[in-house]
Amino acid sequence: MPPACDDERLLLAARHTGGWRLRFVEPLEQAFGLWRVARMRRRLGLIISTAALFQLCFMLLDAWLLPAEIFEGSLFLRGFGLLLLALAWPLCRHPGLPPPLALHLYFLAFLGNALVVVAFIGWCYLNDLAMRYDGLFLVLLFAFLLTGLSSRNLIASAWLVCLSYVLLMLWLRGAQAELYYESQFLLCAAVIGSIGSWQQERGQRQAWLDQQLLSLARVRAEQADQRTQRLLAAASHDLRQPLNAMGLYARHLQEQASDAQTRQISQRLAVSAEQLGRMLQSLLDYTRMSLPEGGSPQWQDVQLQPLLARLMDELKVITREQQEAAELQLDCPLDYWVRSDPVRLERLLRNLLVNAWLHAQARRIWISVREEQQQLCLELGDDGRGLLEEAGQPLRSSAGLGLGLAIVRQLASQLEHALQVSSAPGQGVRYQLRLPRVAARSPETGNSQPGQLPMQVLLLEDDAASREALAGLLQRWGCQVQACANLAEARRALASQPVQLLISDYRLQDECNGLQAIERLREQAGRMLPALLVSAESSAELQERCAPAHVSLLAKPILPARLRQVLFSGLLRSA
C-alpha cells in the first residue's frame, strides 16, 4: 500500500513531537482522518449489529420484567436508538459522504444510543421504579473498547453521559448519599476511560506514523530497485554487444586460420571471450536475484531426464571444442518428474556443471537421480579441486569469479530445494539436491543432430559488429543469411525471398523490440515462422513473454555451441 503522505520531513517531525496533543499538522491530520474513516467503515457492520443486538435483548427483558405502562414508554426510547443505528449504517458507508461528516454521524449515533439508556433510567424513576445505573457502565465499556472513536469524541461522550445522568437524578431524586456514590463511581470510570483512550490514540497515531514511514521507505526501495534493474539491463546490453561480436569473430578466426600458431591464439581468445561472458552473466544474475523484485518462481512439472541430457550434451560440445578429455555420466530414468521452475532449475544445474568443468578443473562429472520417499535426490559429483570447508568456496583458478556456488545457493533457496554440499580439497565435490516428485507424464522424444544447417535465415540485428559476426558464423554452418539492421530492411528481405528462420536481437533502435518485430514479420509471411530471440536480458519475465509467442530465447554473449544446439534441437525441426 502506498503511503498516505510522502513528505518524510512532516512525518519525522510529528514522530519527534510524541503526539501529546493528539493532533498533527493539517496535511497529516487529513491523511490520518481518511485512514480512521476507512478503519471505521471496515468495523461498522460489527459495531452496529452488536449495539442493535444489545438494544433488542434489553427490549425483550423489559417486556418480561417491567410493568406494561413502563414497557410501552421504553419502546419509544429503544426504538429511537435502533432508528439511529439503522440510519448510521448506510450513511456512514456511503462513498460520497465526506470523511469528517461520516465520523460525526458515527459519533452521534453512539451518543444518541447512550443518552437513550440515561433517558430509560429516568423514565423508570418517573414511574416510581428504581432502575439501577449499571447499564451506564456497559455503555462506557462499549464506547472505550469497541467503537474506535477518537479520544476527543470518547471523552466528550463519556462525560456528557455521566453528567446527564447526575443532573437528571438530582432533578428526579434530589441530593441523596446514594446518588453521590453512584456519581463518584461513574465519574471515576469516565476518568479511567478518558486516560486510557488518550493513551490508546497516542499509540495509534505513533503506529500510523511508523507505518507511513515504513511504506515510504518501501516505495523508495522499490524505486531504487527499478533503477537498478534498468541499469542492469542497460549495462547488460551495452557490455554484451561487443563481447558477443568478439566471441563470434574469435571463432571465425579460429576456423579460417591456416597455420597452427594462429589457430592456437584464436582458440585461446575464443575461450577467454566465453569465460568473460560467463563471468559477466554470473555477476548480473547474482545482482538481479539479490534484488527484492527478482521475481517469484513459475512452478511447472518438469521431466528431469531430457533436461539433464541436454545440459550434459552442452558440456560435451564445450569439452570437444576445447579439445579436452572428459568423462560425463548420466543416470536418470525417463519417468522422473519434479515440481519446480524449469528456467531456474536449469540455471542452477548449468552453474554446477560449468563450475565443475571450468573452475574446479574436473575431468570426470556424473549425475545420478534416485528416489527417496516422496522426493528425488539428484546427486552431481566431480573429481575436481573441491571446496574449502571453512569458506564453502571453490578452489579455483583465475578463470572464475567464484559466483557460481553463490548463485546456486540463491536459486536453491528461491526454489525451496534442499541443497547439501560435501567436499574436501583435492577430492572433488558432491552436491545433493532434493526435488519434490510428481506423477510421470508421457516422455518427450528427441531428434538426432544433423551435421549442417541448410536453411534460409533472416537476421535482424542493429549492432553492425554483432550482425556481421553472427551472419558469418551462420553462413559457415551452411545457412543462407539475409542480415538486416532494422525492421524496414527485414520486411523488404522477407518480401524478396522465402525465409525458414527468424533471428532477432531484443533491443532494437526501431520503435519496436525484437518480440514485436518477430510478430510483424510473421504477420507479413502469413505463417508462424520459427523464431529465435537473442538478448542481453535473460530475465524470467522475458522468458515468460517468449513462451506463449513460440519464440526461443538465447542469452548474449552467444556461445556457438549453444546456438548450434538450439537450432538443431527445435528450430531446425520446426523449419
Question: What are the structural domains of the chain?
Answer: 8-220 (no CATH), 300-438 (3.30.565.10), 456-574 (3.40.50.2300)
Question: What pLDDT, on a 0 to 100 scale, did the predictor assign at position 401?
Answer: 41
Q: What does the alpha-carbon distance between residue 386 and residue 54 come to, in Å, rounded to a whole number?
A: 74
Residue 203: Cβ-neighbour burial (10 angstroms; 0-12, 13-18, 19+): exposed
Report the pLDDT value the prediction gives residue 518, as an integer from 0 to 100. 94
Q: What is the pLDDT of residue 392?
A: 46
Residue 125: phi, psi to the nearest 5? -65, -35
How far is the C-alpha of 290 from the C-alpha of 531, rounded, in Å? 31
Q: Using one digit for the tens of pLDDT, what is the confidence trace for 14-41?
A: 777 777 788 888 888 888 888 888 888 8
Judge whether residue 286 has pLDDT over 70. no
pLDDT of residue 405: 77
Model pLDDT, residue 4: 62
pLDDT of residue 25: 84
**Mean of the per-residue pLDDT values of the chain:** 81
Model confidence at 159, pLDDT cuts 50, 70, 90, reads very high
Instruction: Give the model's pLDDT for residue 495.
Output: 93
* pLDDT in the model for residue 395: 42
Per-residue model confidence as pLDDT tens digits over 347-380: 888 888 877 776 667 788 899 999 988 899 999 9
Residue 397, pLDDT above cutoff 50: no
Per-residue model confidence (pLDDT) at position 574: 55
pLDDT digits (tens, 9 = 90+) for 298-337: 788 888 998 898 888 878 877 776 667 778 899 999 889 9
Burial of 121 (0-12, 13-18, 19+ CB in 10 A): buried
Task: Band the pLDDT of 100: cuts 50, 70, 90.
Answer: confident
| pLDDT band per the 50, 70, 90 thresholds, residue 294 | low
The conformational region for residue 349 under phi > 0 = left, psi -120 to 50 = alpha, else beta, is: alpha
**Whole-number pLDDT of residue 289:** 61
CB contact at 8 A, 460 and 490: yes
CA dihedral 210, 214, 219, 221 (to 10 degrees): 150
Average pLDDT over residues 442-463: 67
pTM above threshold 0.85: no
What's residue 400's pLDDT?
Answer: 45
Residue 401 CB neighbours (<10 A): 16
Model confidence at 451: pLDDT above 60: no
> Which of 82-91, 229-238, 300-309, 375-384 is the least confident region?
229-238
Looking at residue 457, the DSSP 8-state letter turns out to be E
- Whether pLDDT at 280 is above 90: no
Per-residue model confidence (pLDDT) at position 311: 84
